[in-house]
Structure 1
Amino acid sequence: MKKQLISILLLLIIAPYSWCYEGADPCRKSTEGNDFWFGFMESRNYSANHYIEITVTAREATTFTITIGTNETPFQGVFSVAANNSQQIRIPWDMVEALGSESIENKGLHLVSQKPVNVYALNYDKNSADVAVIYPTESLGKEYFAMCYDVNINERNDGTYGNGRNSEFLVVASEDSTKVLIIPSKVTDQLVQAGDSINITLNKGEVYQVQSKNRNNLSGQGDLTQSYIKSSKPVAFYSGSLGTTVPATSGTSAWDHLYEQIPPIHSWGREYYTTPLKSRNSDRYRIIAAEDNTTIHISNKNNITLNRGEFEEIVLYSTEPSRIFSDKPIMVAQYSQSNNVDGTGDPFMIILSSVTQSKNDVTFVAYDSEIIQNYFVNIITLTEEINNIRLNGNSISGSFQAFPEGKYSFAQITINPGTHRIKNLNEDRGFLAYVYGYGGVESYGYGVGFNLDLVLDLGESINFNGDTLLLCYGESVTLDAGPYFDTYQWNTGDTTQILKIISGGEYSVKTTTIDGCQLEDSIYIYVSQPEVDLGIDYDEGCAPYSIELNGSDGFDKYIWQNQKDDTLSTSQFYTANITDEYRITVYNKYNCPARDTMNLVVFPVPDIEISGETLICGAKESELTVNISNAPESVWNYNGSFKWSSNNPSIVFSNQSHKKTTLETNDWGKFEIYYELTTTDACITIDTFRVQFEPTPTSAFKFVDDPDDECKGYSREVLYTGNATKNANYYWDYGGAKLIETFDWNNFTVSIGAYNSNPYLTLYVEENGCWSDTTAKLLGANPDFILETEKARGCDSLTVLFKGELNVEDALLFEWDFGDGSPIRNEQEVEHFYSSTGFYDVGLLITNTLSGCQIGFEIDSMIKVFPTPIAEITVDASICYPDSAELIYTHNIDSSICLWEFEGAHQSGTENDSILMIIDEPFGKAMLTVNEYGCISLPAETTLKRLPHFDFYTDFEEGCQPYSPEVFANAQDDFLDFTWLTDSLPHPIGNSTFFTFPDSGKVDVTLVATSTQTGCFDTLTKTDWIWIHPKPAAAFEVDYPVALLEHADITFSNYSESANYFFWDFGDEGTSTEDSPKHTYTQLGEYNSQLFVESDYGCKDTSAFVIKILPFSVFTPNAFRPDSEISENRTFMPVGVGADPSQFNLRIYDRWGQIIFESSSPEHPWDGTTKNGKPAPMGNYIWISNYYDIQGFEHNQKGQVVLVR
């Protein structure tokens, strides 16, 4: 890209502490200079050896001074530095290091030298240090983005800090009345939200630090990278971290301070080279963009696209020296990683320089440290210049190696601590260099010096090697010459900063600044217009139907989309098989798009499936249904769209519809059924169904001798009575019986023996695929048994022997049911124990386990067992009773006899089962024994608790608000604890307490007594027991809270309540005892006026109010210039402190008496224009103002003012 610096003759304007020299290039800015404003961010401070150090290097011997703050207080007089040497100055850290967040501090440093020098700043603490190269004042800017890092908080359990804390940045003003806009990217320490604005005004020497996240789990806080800063005048800007790890991940240790001066956006470049830090495995980099849609190329990596203020973090290994190239300005930072990530050393941060910022000659210092053991410098230069590079006067050409991409080479040189000089013997070429050191958990790194020239760069597409920008056909590209110039002249005739381009060709621009800098740049716009043709616009067919679409050869990317813009494929070919609009977007090698579209209609064809029974047994009628799916009903549901048919004319269809039909036949046999469906688009689909109709056989048979008795005897004659033919398949199962005689295919005799394990005869029949049900009949005989046990009785429990006589032995199951819920017993003779009282029915069931034949017995109330009573007392022993309690024997019956006994209590009355127990002691015990039917119960007992007895008293039952009497408890039982109920928690405990009654009136007092012996508690409340007299309320107002000294007569209005006596203190040693006095103030200032009041009961109160007495002053300038460089001189307004903005009028008259300007607010000054907005001519003008001051007094003024152009 053509970049030409045009030298012009300059009119030099010398500002305080500024310098320039004859023939200097007004476009040239660097880190070398004579005037520096800078500052220090807050750093870790955990050792007594924390210090601030400034290093000055010079190519020529010179002297310099350092001052601090707005008043530029000198620090230690004049310093000197020898040629090609350095000078270090330590400054107490508390004088210049910013502390905290979002407050203005007077800690800026100003360094002025006789001849050009380089300045480096070191902020040191044990195991935590970083160094920044300092920019001279002429290289400062007005627009910045912060580059910080993620926060890794190291918070101790006791709430103090460990190593890690805030992300932070710092603004240093170089001129008075500098307005600064700050938009943080995260919530700040003072809770300014991300994206909100901070607006401040700084004077020279003032600094403003912003921090975020100093505790864990703070919502919205963190890394302040991307924060935006814009100022009205040049400022120095620094960013980094108080202390963090790199990366800031859990488990990463070795924290360090990050501190770098950030270059203004106008000095950012587009081409950077990253050199690995020697002895490290890998480094981290952050890249931030100055403009939207910035494309960034990194060697052997995928391209990155960022918008304005966005950043990307990457990792590059020691084997990956890389070129970073973008089509728009970017800033790049390099981060050294923490000790436990990458070995010896700690984090530091270096802002890398673009190749446009190279420097020809620089002297720098490798800071000496007891901890740091290894020192290095990385040098980058054009490969063709490596033979011209000198380090300390020595050639180092053999140390260089070429980057894998681009025209540059790099060297990683091990050096000693101290002062060094790098120089390119070719005065027209330069280099970039970075010095750094490692040792233990300590490190630092910084750029040794570079240029910060004003850059005019219209950009360059990374697709081309040259001054060419890509423009895709139908789109537009914006050419931006940057906001850093005062005039713009394009070859198109435009004079704006930004030019929107929609066509190809060559474009050029010339720019100038008021300082005399002139730059030119040009660019060629190449228009790429790819084309794609699918070769077909429309196609249709019946489903399933598809067509293969070809997106054409020769493109880098293909995107197939449907009408909803869903992405279907990214291949060149795509098979379309559903109704839709198919859109192809292709991208050529320049990523420019071309598009084409085709429409495909695939007519829906429904899937049809006939379902129904394939074999119908016993019927000549069946119903078939059709499942129609995967197509809208509208395409097939119309008259005449379906047809039912068969291969046999005997099939008759009825109840026909789209989805079902009934078919009938007069014949048994097999048939085929056909269903045909035609859509509205003439698409036809057919299905076939096969069905068989057959009669159902039956399996009925009977016992010829006695059909209804299954337990008849041991020999039975059987006859089949079903409907099957002799050709059917008969499946007889004789069980345990034997076939002894056959009379015909359907008639025979079987024999049944004792202990027959399967006494069933079963049959099922199959014919023509149809099966009968299974018929089963029992073959068996009933058992013969006589029960011998008699009825029995007992008390509480009883053991009974059950037995009987069996006449025929067989496979029998005895099931004794004893009526008490106990398990069934299966012995023939069994003894059973009744453990519970009651009347029990006894049953016996005898079953032949082989045939199922059975007999049974059941005797009602055969066994009777009477219960022994249980002496259970019904009373709640868990509660506390006042003096007595009712006790009840719960299970009382007519025959119950109750015997009561007591300890610590006695019975009231002579009742039997329900009594009243009087509790004489804190604990009272009752014992009960019951006799029923001669059965004596075990004794039962219960112990009851009584509520405590107590009272309370106080010495004085009347007082004044707020009243705090002491109240005493009076215990009438032993072992009592007392709790006093108050309005606040926890409630006081003890035998006495003080009550505080804030309000007036009569109040209740409540005491809770708790027995530690019984756990019982009771509450005693005395209503309206304490009487509190009201406290008076002091209150007053003044007619003028803010007054001017010439009208400082103030009236005090008393609004106190319940007060009888008054005393006034006016704050200026004046007093009064009047109800509503007046007082005159004679001096300017703020006065704390107070009113003291007292009631008849001696209760007091105080009220105060601050009164401000202001001067009334009006400053009226006699001239102003709308185009002045000083903003205060650009407008005219003859009003000062004390004017009421709501009652104001200013009129400006020309020499003919015509009103050319009028304002109704002091906030709307005259800017030198007339009512129609045009500039008024230079000359004298008459002004008249009418307004009221803040106390309502009217003022009328007039005068003359000179308008200067």
Structure 2
Amino acid sequence: MSLGNDTVICQGQQITLGTPNIYDSYLWNTGSRSSSITVLTSGTYSLTVQKLQGNVVQNGDFSGGNVGFQSDYIVGPGGTWGLLSDPGTFAVTSNSSLVHNNFSYCFDHTSGNSSGSMLVVNGSDVQNEVVWKQTVTISPNTDYQFSVWAASVVADNPGTLRFMINGVQVGAQLNLPWSTCNWQQFFVTWNSGVNTTAEIAIINQNTLDAGNDFALDDITFRPVCTSTDAINVTVEARPVVNLGPDQTICRGESVTFDAAQSNPATYQWNTGHVSSAIQTDTAGLYQVTVTSPNGCVASDNVNVAVEERPDAGSDAYVQFCNSSNQVDLVDHLASGITQDGSWSTQNPVLNGNLSANGILNLSSVSGDFDVIYVKQGTFCPNDTSHWQLSIAEQPVAGNDVSLHLCNSSDFNTSLFSLLDIVQPSQQGHWVVDPIVGGAFDTANDLLSPELIPEGNYTISYVLEAEGVCMNDTASLNLQISSVPVIQFSSDKTRGCEELTVSFVNETIASPNTTYSWQLSDGSQYTADNSFTHVFPVAGCYDVALTAVTDGLCVATGSVSNMICVDPLPVADFSYGPQQVYSDFPEVNFTNNSTLNYTNEWDFGDGQGNTQENPSHVYEQGVAADYTVTLVVVTDAGCSDTTTQVVEVREQLLFFVPNAFTPDEDKFNPVFRPVMTAGFDPNDYELTIYNRWGEIVFSSMNPSVGWDGNFGGNMCPDGLYLWTLKFGHEFKDNVFFYKGHVSLIR
């Protein structure tokens, strides 16, 4: 293995050292174990590589079966759970579950599938028995790599393996994991010294016979060849080059740059020059690359800017009108003239109305003035031009005015009173657009709004200007709106409360009109065309409509008592008696209604009456509910209806005997109240007491009575107290009765 010749690199560079990736291990003096390293500092770098030779162990992957090794264990003879039923036995197999029913389904380490072989062991319960042993021939003074792969095949009491060479333990013992089929590697490097043979042995330290089961595979013992080489790396400093700061020159001048240094070197400029110095009068980036004899490179660059010679332009004559507040003289420079010069005045001075950057205030200036424009150079000399300014006065007619009038206005007014006119020395004239005959009297400066149709008009007063100034105009922007003509109607004017009325707007007005309805019940609406309103309270109501056109012209129309609402009657009655029984079902009705001009009764049984306070007899002996309806109508035809239910019920009837004879004949053997009608059988309770107050009988079923027995024995003749409680069939009333009954045998 060779790292090559010593080498030189430039400061800031790096170099990769190494050898082809054909060896089994690499170790640099830097501690790296990769086949190559990258360095950027001076120093000596050495590499030691190792190459493994062939395996001297025979049948280490057990592809040849049970041959080539010795063992204190025996080949599994078989038993209850398979070949390896007994401790201290082994077998070569492709799947550990094939040699013992309780072993996991593990494949060999070499192939990882059922195509390979491995040694599977049922651990011995005798300590220090050799599982596998082989003696190999070796070379003296040679490093050997010893490797073994092992895995547990039962997740209980995993094996503990110790590895021996010529009777001496090498490396640490291997404690197999509790998980099964998880291959673990034992690895150690061993030097043969003076030995020419090596006895390699694997011993299991675990002596538990339960779960002490594992597999071995890929046992190797390989000689290692070593080679070392070193290389010196020197870092050389780069050349020093400095072209100085960026520079600006005036157009027509030149500048020189020199990249020479004390050490020998070659030079390469981006302009193509190869000398150490160049001279230029052109703007641009100039870059030089300096290379040392060993190839180390440094570079520098410098920007050259060329300032154009300033040009203030030619002398000029310029006219302005003082209608503008200010102008920028820079905007009047000829094309191509640089615009960042300074301005000043002389003969006469503009008294501060001209700024150095060319802003001229015209608001209070008129006349002729001399102005100087100077363009200064940074690296070039200044340039100057002379300007003559003539400033004319702008005529001012006045401010524009907007006016909005209704064509109901009946007056004549002066146009000058409506406009904000500034009277100049010269006389102006009027312009009207569009022209309406008779409305505008420009000769006498008069305006008559009532003669103007609805629309927009412009009346202008124009003053003529001189020189570069413009005519000035003061305008009256006049908007004329028409007054609305109020008209409206409704679908009805009278009715019963609550009365719903629909109103229709029939007003004649322009589209830009808003409407406001006012009802005397306090309601307001803004409907343009129609709306519906409900009058809930009886009475007569006024209706008013206000229309506003263009927010200015207002008209209002109203109708007094336009809508009248008649009151509703209130239907109400009472009756008696409140409880009506079928044996005498007569009911008297009392009419409590108001505004009842007519009355119409329906008694709910197919009969009726028009009396104010009628009486009615329902069918006797019939229990039923009757819905009674009363309809009342006012003299204006407004009506109201009310209903009530009249309940006709059965009369309450019952009978309690005062004696009974439970003497085993069929006559009167049981005491029981006879409930005929009007009671609630679900709210019934009968209780019987003897003379000492003991309860001898109780029942909540009206069909069950007392047979004269108590506790399985017949009660003696005598007088017994009874209590009876029950509810009414149609009411919440509860009735309670008591009395005596004679027991006779």
**TM-score, normalized by the shorter chain, greater than 0.5:** no
Under a length normalisation based on structure 2, what TM-score does the superposition of the two structures give?
A: 0.38
Larger radius of gyration: 2
TM-score normalised over the length of structure 1 = 0.26
Task: Point out which structure has higher relative CO (alpha carbons under 8 A, 6+ apart).
Answer: 2
